[in-house]
Protein backbone atom coordinates (compact mmCIF):
# COMPACT_ATOMS: atom_id res chain seq x y z
CA UNK A 1 0.00 0.00 0.00
CA UNK A 2 1.40 3.42 -0.95
CA UNK A 3 1.65 6.33 1.46
CA UNK A 4 -1.05 8.09 -0.57
CA UNK A 5 -3.38 5.10 -0.05
CA UNK A 6 -2.70 5.17 3.68
CA UNK A 7 -3.59 8.87 3.87
CA UNK A 8 -6.82 8.22 2.02
CA UNK A 9 -7.66 5.45 4.49
CA UNK A 10 -7.61 7.80 7.50
CA UNK A 11 -9.22 10.85 5.89
CA UNK A 12 -12.61 11.47 4.24
CA UNK A 13 -12.89 11.38 0.44
CA UNK A 14 -11.53 14.50 -1.19
CA UNK A 15 -9.37 15.44 1.81
CA UNK A 16 -6.04 14.36 0.29
CA UNK A 17 -4.56 16.38 -2.57
CA UNK A 18 -1.48 15.14 -4.42
CA UNK A 19 1.17 17.44 -5.97
CA UNK A 20 -0.90 20.42 -4.87
CA UNK A 21 0.43 23.89 -5.88
CA UNK A 22 1.09 25.80 -2.65
CA UNK A 23 0.52 29.12 -4.41
CA UNK A 24 -3.17 28.23 -4.04
CA UNK A 25 -2.79 28.04 -0.26
CA UNK A 26 -0.68 31.08 0.67
CA UNK A 27 -1.57 34.77 0.67
CA UNK A 28 1.73 35.49 -1.16
CA UNK A 29 0.31 33.42 -4.07
CA UNK A 30 3.70 31.80 -4.72
CA UNK A 31 5.07 28.31 -4.08
CA UNK A 32 5.55 25.02 -5.87
CA UNK A 33 3.69 21.74 -5.28
CA UNK A 34 3.47 19.90 -1.98
CA UNK A 35 3.74 16.12 -2.37
CA UNK A 36 0.55 15.84 -0.32
CA UNK A 37 -1.82 18.40 1.15
CA UNK A 38 -4.44 17.13 3.59
CA UNK A 39 -7.56 18.87 4.88
CA UNK A 40 -8.53 17.35 8.24
CA UNK A 41 -11.91 18.07 9.85
CA UNK A 42 -11.23 16.95 13.42
CA UNK A 43 -8.40 16.39 15.90
CA UNK A 44 -8.43 12.61 15.51
CA UNK A 45 -7.69 12.93 11.79
CA UNK A 46 -4.72 15.21 12.45
CA UNK A 47 -3.36 12.73 14.99
CA UNK A 48 -3.72 9.85 12.50
CA UNK A 49 -1.92 11.78 9.74
CA UNK A 50 0.98 12.67 12.05
CA UNK A 51 1.24 9.04 13.19
CA UNK A 52 1.44 7.93 9.55
CA UNK A 53 4.10 10.55 8.80
CA UNK A 54 6.22 9.47 11.75
CA UNK A 55 5.96 5.80 10.83
CA UNK A 56 7.02 6.55 7.25
CA UNK A 57 9.60 9.17 8.33
CA UNK A 58 7.74 11.60 6.11
CA UNK A 59 8.26 15.34 6.83
CA UNK A 60 5.11 17.30 7.64
CA UNK A 61 4.18 20.90 8.28
CA UNK A 62 0.99 22.33 9.80
CA UNK A 63 -0.40 25.56 8.35
CA UNK A 64 -3.55 27.65 8.50
CA UNK A 65 -4.56 29.90 5.62
CA UNK A 66 -0.94 30.51 4.67
CA UNK A 67 -0.97 34.20 5.59
CA UNK A 68 2.53 34.09 7.09
CA UNK A 69 4.08 31.47 4.86
CA UNK A 70 6.50 31.44 1.93
CA UNK A 71 6.87 28.09 0.15
CA UNK A 72 9.81 27.46 -2.19
CA UNK A 73 9.36 27.36 -5.96
CA UNK A 74 10.27 23.66 -6.04
CA UNK A 75 7.57 22.90 -3.49
CA UNK A 76 7.52 20.84 -0.31
CA UNK A 77 8.64 17.22 -0.07
CA UNK A 78 6.23 15.79 2.45
CA UNK A 79 2.77 16.43 3.86
CA UNK A 80 1.18 19.84 4.42
CA UNK A 81 -1.58 19.58 7.03
CA UNK A 82 -3.87 22.52 6.35
CA UNK A 83 -6.17 23.48 9.21
CA UNK A 84 -8.59 25.69 7.33
CA UNK A 85 -12.25 26.00 6.35
CA UNK A 86 -12.99 22.38 7.20
CA UNK A 87 -11.90 23.13 10.78
CA UNK A 88 -13.51 26.51 11.44
CA UNK A 89 -16.52 26.22 13.74
CA UNK A 90 -17.33 29.22 15.95
CA UNK A 91 -19.71 29.11 18.94
CA UNK A 92 -20.66 31.83 21.42
CA UNK A 93 -21.81 31.31 25.01
CA UNK A 94 -22.36 34.49 26.99
CA UNK A 95 -19.10 36.46 26.76
CA UNK A 96 -17.05 33.48 25.58
CA UNK A 97 -16.25 32.61 21.98
CA UNK A 98 -15.01 29.10 21.22
CA UNK A 99 -13.32 29.06 17.84
CA UNK A 100 -11.70 26.19 16.00
CA UNK A 101 -8.14 26.75 14.78
CA UNK A 102 -9.11 27.14 11.13
CA UNK A 103 -11.57 29.98 11.76
CA UNK A 104 -10.31 33.29 10.37
CA UNK A 105 -9.79 36.18 12.78
CA UNK A 106 -12.12 38.29 10.67
CA UNK A 107 -14.90 35.69 11.02
CA UNK A 108 -14.42 35.56 14.81
CA UNK A 109 -14.43 39.37 15.05
CA UNK A 110 -17.60 39.56 12.97
CA UNK A 111 -19.36 37.01 15.18
CA UNK A 112 -18.26 38.97 18.23
CA UNK A 113 -19.61 42.15 16.69
CA UNK A 114 -22.97 40.49 15.98
CA UNK A 115 -23.15 39.44 19.65
CA UNK A 116 -22.14 42.97 20.81
CA UNK A 117 -18.95 41.63 22.38
CA UNK A 118 -15.98 43.98 22.58
CA UNK A 119 -12.26 43.26 22.87
CA UNK A 120 -11.56 41.52 19.56
CA UNK A 121 -11.94 44.46 17.21
CA UNK A 122 -8.15 44.74 16.82
CA UNK A 123 -8.05 41.36 15.05
CA UNK A 124 -10.81 42.05 12.55
CA UNK A 125 -8.47 42.67 9.63
CA UNK A 126 -5.51 40.46 10.49
CA UNK A 127 -5.30 37.99 7.57
CA UNK A 128 -4.80 34.84 9.63
CA UNK A 129 -6.55 32.03 11.46
CA UNK A 130 -7.09 31.43 15.16
CA UNK A 131 -4.42 28.71 15.18
CA UNK A 132 -1.73 30.92 13.69
CA UNK A 133 -2.77 33.87 15.85
CA UNK A 134 -2.32 31.81 19.02
CA UNK A 135 1.06 30.49 17.85
CA UNK A 136 2.38 33.98 17.11
CA UNK A 137 0.39 35.99 19.67
CA UNK A 138 -0.92 38.06 16.76
CA UNK A 139 -1.66 41.68 17.43
CA UNK A 140 -2.47 45.02 15.82
CA UNK A 141 -3.70 48.49 16.71
CA UNK A 142 -3.00 48.17 20.42
CA UNK A 143 -4.48 44.69 20.94
CA UNK A 144 -2.94 41.22 21.15
CA UNK A 145 -4.25 37.68 21.48
CA UNK A 146 -2.81 37.53 25.01
CA UNK A 147 -5.40 40.14 26.02
CA UNK A 148 -8.34 37.88 25.21
CA UNK A 149 -7.24 34.23 25.26
CA UNK A 150 -8.73 32.22 28.11
CA UNK A 151 -7.57 28.74 27.12
CA UNK A 152 -6.18 27.00 24.05
CA UNK A 153 -6.74 23.40 23.00
CA UNK A 154 -3.71 21.70 21.47
CA UNK A 155 -2.44 18.40 20.14
CA UNK A 156 1.12 17.44 21.06
CA UNK A 157 3.48 15.74 18.61
CA UNK A 158 2.91 12.57 20.65
CA UNK A 159 -0.84 12.75 19.97
CA UNK A 160 -1.90 13.96 23.44
CA UNK A 161 -4.76 16.46 23.75
CA UNK A 162 -4.10 19.30 26.20
CA UNK A 163 -6.03 22.35 27.38
CA UNK A 164 -3.56 25.16 28.08
CA UNK A 165 -4.76 27.91 30.49
CA UNK A 166 -3.69 31.51 29.83
CA UNK A 167 -1.09 31.55 32.62
CA UNK A 168 0.85 28.78 30.87
CA UNK A 169 0.76 30.19 27.31
CA UNK A 170 4.03 32.17 27.58
CA UNK A 171 2.70 34.77 25.16
CA UNK A 172 5.20 37.39 24.06
CA UNK A 173 6.01 39.37 20.91
CA UNK A 174 5.31 36.87 18.10
CA UNK A 175 5.95 33.90 20.37
CA UNK A 176 4.13 31.41 22.62
CA UNK A 177 4.51 28.08 24.38
CA UNK A 178 2.66 26.56 21.40
CA UNK A 179 5.45 27.60 19.03
CA UNK A 180 8.22 26.67 21.46
CA UNK A 181 6.88 23.17 22.08
CA UNK A 182 5.58 22.61 18.53
CA UNK A 183 2.02 22.10 19.73
CA UNK A 184 -0.70 22.02 17.09
CA UNK A 185 -3.46 24.47 18.01
CA UNK A 186 -6.92 22.94 17.62
CA UNK A 187 -9.02 25.78 19.00
CA UNK A 188 -9.26 28.59 21.52
CA UNK A 189 -11.63 29.99 24.10
CA UNK A 190 -11.70 33.78 23.82
CA UNK A 191 -13.12 35.88 26.66
CA UNK A 192 -14.63 39.23 25.70
CA UNK A 193 -16.99 41.73 27.35
CA UNK A 194 -20.44 43.04 26.54
CA UNK A 195 -20.11 46.33 24.74
CA UNK A 196 -21.96 48.97 22.80
CA UNK A 197 -22.95 47.43 19.45
CA UNK A 198 -22.68 50.65 17.47
CA UNK A 199 -19.29 51.50 18.97
CA UNK A 200 -17.95 48.06 18.02
CA UNK A 201 -19.24 48.40 14.45
CA UNK A 202 -17.66 51.86 14.15
CA UNK A 203 -14.32 50.73 15.61
CA UNK A 204 -14.09 47.82 13.17
CA UNK A 205 -15.03 50.08 10.25
CA UNK A 206 -12.35 52.57 11.34
CA UNK A 207 -9.68 49.86 11.51
CA UNK A 208 -10.75 48.55 8.10
CA UNK A 209 -10.32 52.05 6.65
CA UNK A 210 -6.89 52.43 8.28
CA UNK A 211 -5.71 49.11 6.84
CA UNK A 212 -7.05 49.87 3.37
CA UNK A 213 -5.43 53.30 3.20
CA UNK A 214 -2.09 52.39 4.82
CA UNK A 215 -1.44 48.80 3.68
CA UNK A 216 -1.03 47.39 0.14
CA UNK A 217 -3.99 45.02 0.42
CA UNK A 218 -4.48 45.12 -3.34
CA UNK A 219 -1.37 42.93 -3.81
CA UNK A 220 -0.61 39.42 -2.52
CA UNK A 221 1.70 39.49 0.51
CA UNK A 222 2.22 37.92 3.90
CA UNK A 223 1.42 41.10 5.80
CA UNK A 224 4.30 42.68 7.73
CA UNK A 225 7.38 40.95 6.36
CA UNK A 226 9.73 41.65 9.27
CA UNK A 227 9.41 41.61 13.05
CA UNK A 228 9.63 44.94 14.83
CA UNK A 229 13.21 45.42 16.06
CA UNK A 230 13.39 46.66 19.65
CA UNK A 231 13.40 50.45 19.66
CA UNK A 232 12.67 50.75 15.93
CA UNK A 233 9.99 50.27 13.28
CA UNK A 234 10.94 47.95 10.42
CA UNK A 235 9.09 50.01 7.81
CA UNK A 236 10.83 53.23 8.85
CA UNK A 237 14.28 51.60 8.73
CA UNK A 238 13.52 50.26 5.25
CA UNK A 239 12.23 53.65 4.09
CA UNK A 240 15.24 55.49 5.53
CA UNK A 241 17.49 53.01 3.71
CA UNK A 242 16.04 54.27 0.42
CA UNK A 243 14.37 50.98 -0.39
CA UNK A 244 10.78 52.12 -0.98
CA UNK A 245 9.71 50.56 -4.28
CA UNK A 246 12.85 48.41 -4.56
CA UNK A 247 12.08 45.55 -6.94
CA UNK A 248 13.69 42.18 -7.62
CA UNK A 249 11.92 40.15 -10.28
CA UNK A 250 8.21 40.33 -9.50
CA UNK A 251 8.68 41.16 -5.80
CA UNK A 252 8.64 44.73 -4.51
CA UNK A 253 9.03 46.70 -1.29
CA UNK A 254 5.60 48.31 -1.19
CA UNK A 255 5.59 52.07 -1.71
CA UNK A 256 2.40 52.25 0.34
CA UNK A 257 3.94 50.59 3.42
CA UNK A 258 7.65 49.84 3.34
CA UNK A 259 7.24 47.07 5.92
CA UNK A 260 5.51 44.92 3.28
CA UNK A 261 7.21 42.91 0.56
CA UNK A 262 4.52 42.30 -2.05
CA UNK A 263 3.97 40.01 -5.02
CA UNK A 264 3.90 42.93 -7.43
CA UNK A 265 4.04 41.09 -10.75
CA UNK A 266 3.93 37.28 -10.75
CA UNK A 267 6.83 36.97 -8.32
CA UNK A 268 8.56 33.69 -7.58
CA UNK A 269 9.49 32.58 -4.08
CA UNK A 270 13.12 33.24 -5.07
CA UNK A 271 12.24 36.84 -6.00
CA UNK A 272 10.66 37.38 -2.59
CA UNK A 273 13.55 35.71 -0.73
CA UNK A 274 16.20 37.64 -2.68
CA UNK A 275 14.43 40.92 -1.98
CA UNK A 276 14.05 40.14 1.73
CA UNK A 277 17.76 39.30 1.97
CA UNK A 278 18.69 42.49 0.10
CA UNK A 279 16.57 44.55 2.52
CA UNK A 280 18.12 42.85 5.55
CA UNK A 281 21.68 43.42 4.26
CA UNK A 282 21.01 47.08 3.34
CA UNK A 283 19.37 47.98 6.67
CA UNK A 284 22.16 46.22 8.58
CA UNK A 285 24.80 48.15 6.62
CA UNK A 286 23.12 51.53 7.09
CA UNK A 287 21.84 51.26 10.65
CA UNK A 288 23.54 48.24 12.26
CA UNK A 289 20.11 46.68 12.88
CA UNK A 290 19.40 43.13 11.73
CA UNK A 291 15.80 42.69 10.62
CA UNK A 292 14.29 39.30 11.40
CA UNK A 293 11.71 37.89 8.98
CA UNK A 294 8.24 37.36 10.37
CA UNK A 295 7.41 35.15 7.40
CA UNK A 296 8.04 31.41 7.74
CA UNK A 297 9.95 29.82 4.86
CA UNK A 298 9.52 26.13 4.05
CA UNK A 299 10.21 23.81 1.15
CA UNK A 300 12.80 23.79 -1.61
CA UNK A 301 13.84 27.16 -3.06
Alpha-carbon distance of 294 to 300, in angstroms, equals 19
The one catalytic residue among 20, 45, 86, 174: 174
SS3 174: coil
The one catalytic residue among 67, 124, 176, 224: 224
Q: End-to-end CA distance of the chain: give it in Å, rounded.
A: 31
Q: Could you confirm whether 224 is annotated as catalytic? A: yes
Alpha-carbon distance of 24 to 101, in angstroms, equals 20
Q: CA dihedral defined by 104, 108, 111, 112, rounded to 10 degrees?
A: -160
Q: Could you confirm whether 174 is annotated as catalytic? A: yes
Alpha-carbon distance of 117 to 167, in angstroms, equals 23
Question: Which helix (H) or strand (E) segment is 243 a member of?
Answer: none
Q: Which residues contact 274 (CB under 8 A, 6 or more apart)?
A: 248, 249, 251
* Contact between 256 and 211 (Cβ < 8 Å): no
Question: Which helix (H) or strand (E) segment is 296 a member of?
Answer: strand 296-298
The one catalytic residue among 151, 284, 294, 297: 294
* Contact between 138 and 163 (Cβ < 8 Å): no
Q: Could you confirm whether 294 is annotated as catalytic? A: yes
Alpha-carbon distance of 230 to 193, in angstroms, equals 32
| 296 strand-pairing partners | 69
Alpha-carbon distance of 184 to 285, in angstroms, equals 38
Going by the DSSP 8-state scheme, the letter that residue 217 receives in this structure is T
The catalytic residue positions are: 174, 224, 294
Amino acid sequence: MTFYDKLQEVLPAGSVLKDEPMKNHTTFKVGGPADYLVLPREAAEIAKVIKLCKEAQMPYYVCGNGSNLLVGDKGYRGVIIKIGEEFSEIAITGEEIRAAAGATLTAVANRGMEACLTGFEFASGIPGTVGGACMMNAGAYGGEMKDVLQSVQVLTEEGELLDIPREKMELGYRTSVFAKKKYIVLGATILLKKGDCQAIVERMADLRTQRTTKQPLEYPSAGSTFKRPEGYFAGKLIQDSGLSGKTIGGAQVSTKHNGFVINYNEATAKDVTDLMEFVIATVREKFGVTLEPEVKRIGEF
